[in-house]
């Protein structure tokens, strides 16, 4: 299983090169995902929320419904081809989503290993902690996901992420 994580600016090029079967877009309400003719609309999910961890006027906080949609979408992926996961910068929302999808697929008890793999794949990955907390509850991991992400710490500071693969194989 390969999850390709990238910023919005890299989506079209990576989609053409890697030919993902599914695309997960996590963007604020003012941005639209790029049109990708090669990926049918039933294999695309566009979640609208901002990269925040507490309420802020005029912004959309990630919530349990977003995480439930993300998990359900991931469960519909047959893993025959990669899934491309992106947000605006490719640092926070997309890395959180990739980690959540990986944890769901791997099952309980692998949260620490997957967090370590995430850090090895990207030194700048800084998963949105609210998304992780919400997924921790949705997947009934009793804090294991949040604790694992806290252990790897904040990634290096960057304005935009560098594409990377997160693999369970």
pLDDT, position 37: 83
Residue 167 lies in a domain: no
The answer to whether the beta carbons of residues 162 and 1 sit under 8 Å apart is no
- Residue 165 inside a domain? The answer is no
Strand-strand pairing, 164-167 and 2-7: antiparallel
In a domain, 109, yes or no: yes
pLDDT recorded at residue 106: 95
In a domain, 108, yes or no: yes
**What value does the mean pLDDT take over residues 116-142?**
98
Q: Identify whether 56 is part of a domain.
A: yes
Residue pair 99/67 in contact by the 8 Å Cβ criterion: no
What tens digit of pLDDT does each residue of 17-39 get? Answer: 999 999 999 999 999 999 898 89
119: helix, coil or strand? helix
Owning domain of residue 115: 2-160
Domain presence at residue 168: no
CATH number at residue 30: 3.90.190.10
Position 26 scores a pLDDT of 98
Inter-residue contact 10 to 163 (CB < 8 Å): yes
Sign of CA dihedral 130, 136, 137, 143: negative
Number of domains in the chain: 1
Matching residue, tokens 């090895």:
120
66-112 residue pLDDT tens: 999 999 999 999 999 999 999 999 999 999 999 999 999 999 999 99
In a domain, 166, yes or no: no
Residue 18, domain member (yes or no): yes
């Amino acid at each position: 299983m390969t999850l390709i994580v990238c910023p919005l600016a890299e989506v079209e090029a990576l989609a053409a090169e890697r030919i993902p079967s599914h695309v997960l877009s996590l963007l604020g309400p003012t941005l639209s995902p790029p049109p990708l003719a090669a990926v049918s609309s039933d294999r695309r999910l566009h979640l609208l929320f901002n990269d925040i961890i507490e309420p802020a006027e005029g912004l959309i906080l990630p919530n349990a419904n977003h995480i439930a949609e993300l998990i359900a979408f991931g469960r519909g992926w047959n893993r025959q081809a990669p899934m491309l996961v992106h947000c605006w910068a490719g640092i926070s929302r997309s890395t959180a989503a990739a980690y959540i999808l990986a944890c769901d697929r791997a099952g309980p008890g692998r949260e620490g290993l997957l967090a370590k793999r995430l850090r090895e794949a990207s030194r700048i990955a800084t998963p949105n902690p609210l998304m992780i907390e919400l997924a921790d509850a949705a997947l009934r991991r009793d804090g294991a996901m949040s604790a694992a992400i806290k252990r790897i710490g904040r990634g290096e500071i960057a304005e935009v992420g560098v594409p990377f693969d997160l693999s369970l194989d």
